[in-house]
Amino acid sequence: MTPRDRERYSRQIVFSGIGEAGQRKLLESHAVVVGCGALGSFQAAALARAGVGRITILDRDLIEPSNLQRQWLFDEADAEAALPKAAAAERALRRINSGIEVSGIVADLTASNVEELLAGAQVILDGTDNFEARYLINDYAVREGIPWIYGGAVGSYGITMPVVPGRGACFRCMYPEPPSGVQPTCETAGVLGSITAAIAALQVADALKLLCGTTFPPLVTTLDVWNGGVRQIGQPPPDPDCRTCGRREFPGLRGEGRAPISLCGRNAVQIHERSRPLDLRRLREALASLGEVRCNEFGLRFFCSPYELTVFPDGRAIVKGTTDVGVARSLYAKYIGA
């Protein structure tokens, strides 16, 4: 550890829970943040300020003005340029801490790329907005013996839980199936920046404990910053019939349940069932006579009222303005090709 590091992280070093030995471990650690929205942007900034030596940020989406109320790393210029969250986060973190390694990857985490994108992680933080991604993270983390920290927030309510393989239940033990019926989203129920910050802060605290080698009881924590109430309960023991940690089948890693999904708070469907490189400049030329097109190196945005298509170089697309998978697929085939 350099004299500069000792000065920068002096307040953590004098904290008995971390100390100089713990700070050394943090500087040598690798954390992966999956999803860089309200939770993930806070997580990434806090990890960078704490001196986690290597941070990988994975996110599939672009910044919009409605994100700025709660997504801590982004500003109006980022939203105006419709930058990918992962790219903007990498740029911001390099300004926050030039002494660490940061990698922002614009990608959708899938069964086909999870091995590559999560490789080398010592802890994984959940900043996603859907159960499919969480089951995939859980299956990979349990199989590899890597701890990860689940978190979610909507309205003024939030929940977080560390998943430490071999200690307590895994995510699939707690939620064998996704919730059924209509669920509140950030669009339908709103969300407060204070609850996302609170949940993300608890996730980061658990991540730092894990990276420093601290042993602690895994707890399920829920809180409501508007109506009041904080509750913590111990995790149940692993379910011996759990498909992930009990039977070790890892269905998420086999791509089970993979389908176009509605995105939280976006009134949109993501088409991610194919991976084929696209020449966005040629696509822009082809669409220019059909509607407004904006294009940069990260993606292309095409406006065909009442819909909006955002297309990425790997062929993935987000169709905004509908939650009907059939409509989204039809628009993709019509403008990009079957």
Cite the active site residues: 186
Amino acid at 264: C
Least Cα distance to 57 among 118, 1, 148 occurs for 118
What gap in Å lies between CA 180 and CA 338, rounded to an integer?
A: 31
Contact 11, 50 (CB under 8 A): no
Contact 96, 115 (CB under 8 A): no
What gap in Å lies between CA 316 and CA 299, rounded to an integer?
A: 10
Least Cα distance to 12 among 219, 232, 204, 217 occurs for 204
